[in-house]
Homo-oligomer: A and B are copies of this chain.
Amino acid sequence: MEGNKIRNMEEFASVSGISRPTLSKYFNDPTSVRDSTRKRIEAAVEQYDYRPNLYAMNQNRRLTKNIGIVVPYLADPFFAEIARTLENHVLRTGYRPVLLGSHGRPELEIENLENLRLIKPAGVLLAPLGRVSEREQIEAFCKEVPTVLFDANIDGVGHAFVGSNNGQSIGLIVDYLCRTGEPPAFFEMETPTNPNAYKRRTAYLAAMERLDHKPRLIQAPGEGWEFEEIGFREGSRLLRDKTLPTDTILCSNDRLAIGFLSAAYEAGLRVGLGPGCALRVAGHDDHPFSRYTCPTLTTVSQDYEAIAKKSAEALLELIEAGSPGDSREETLFEGRLIMRGSA
């Protein structure tokens, strides 16, 4: 403790014996100064516990070291998990992640982007809600800020997209289900909030056609992000009315499946593969909780780690390239079949 604290970089320069411009350079990029000076600075930082004023620093910089991470819904464990992974990757590269959730509301998503613009981020990782209505505003944002979309694609928007190959992953699980039992019906929301849902529906239809089976869509009414509730409600209704066209249900995502499984349990139906099982249920995403459902959920995993890694890398390339460039790279990771108890 040196008693009185350093109030600004000027003071820190005099006590540390290093000129202010050099300090300024150091704080914006520690590698930009000579090794020996860096060590002197770091020692002085330690000794005097000095941190430059973030606001004064960023005021005159065109860009900051902030990277925005925007997800549609933070209380959805899927997004929470991917956000967590992204944060780690961003931190490791020396940037500061700024996490924003849109609470499922398109207007909040736009507000989040506007707030992000105010903090002049170096770049943004955006998993859009997917409502078409806001396309223009997101597009405008992407023209000003290097942005990588992940999870949900909006054609032509943003400088890159990283996500899952829904065609491949749905094909995989449809194949598996057809190979091991009755062809699946596809259980989804009537008006999905997410563009992946449409891709998965299309992929299901294509897969069923390829295998010469009649596709059957089951569309649950309901809005919002309470997917488990929607899956449970519609599942209960279907099981009560006994209107299921097949004994095998492929859900558009794990959260719907979790609700459906719960409905099946309440209805006293045994779900799974073996004899004595009345129903097979499969999901998609490898949701953090799919390991603990009853029975455990057969699903297709999305490679969280790979998606997060690639998104962060793509954004960093973009940032370091300086100019946006007009190529738009789309990276799709393949799903992996996760065989568990439910199908």
Contacts and interface: CB of A to CB of B under 8 A. Distances in A.
A292 B59 contact: no
Interface string A59-94: 100000000000000111100110110011000000
A116 to B, nearest CB: 11
Interface in A84-122: 84, 87-88, 96, 98-101, 103, 114-115, 118-120
What band does the interface of chain A fall in when counting residues whose beta carbon is under 8 Å from B?
35 or more
Copies held by the complex: 2
Contact of A77 (B77, B265, B341): B77
Contact of A296 (B53, B103, B262): B262
Contact of A294 (B55, B74, B294): B294
Nearest to A260: B292
Contacts of A114: 51
A101 to B, nearest CB: 7
A61 to B, nearest CB: 9
Contact of A75 (B53, B80, B101): B80
A288 B5 CA distance: 47
Interface in A291-337: 291-296
A99 B100 contact: yes
Contact of A258 (B53, B101, B103, B292): B292
A262 B293 contact: yes
Contact of A74 (B84, B261, B288, B291): B84
A2 to B, nearest CB: 17
A292 B262 CA distance: 5
B118 A101 contact: no
Contact of A88 (B51, B88, B103, B266): B103
A259 interface: yes
Contacts of A292: 228, 232, 258-259, 261-262
Nearest to A263: B292
A98 to B, nearest CB: 8
Interface of A: 51, 53-56, 58-59, 74-77, 80-81, 83-84, 87-88, 96, 98-101, 103, 114-115, 118-120, 228-229, 232, 258-259, 261-262, 265-266, 288-289, 291-296, 341
14 contacts: A51-B114, A55-B119, A56-B59, A74-B74, A74-B99, A75-B80, A75-B83, A99-B99, A99-B101, A228-B292, A261-B292, A262-B296, A289-B289, A293-B294
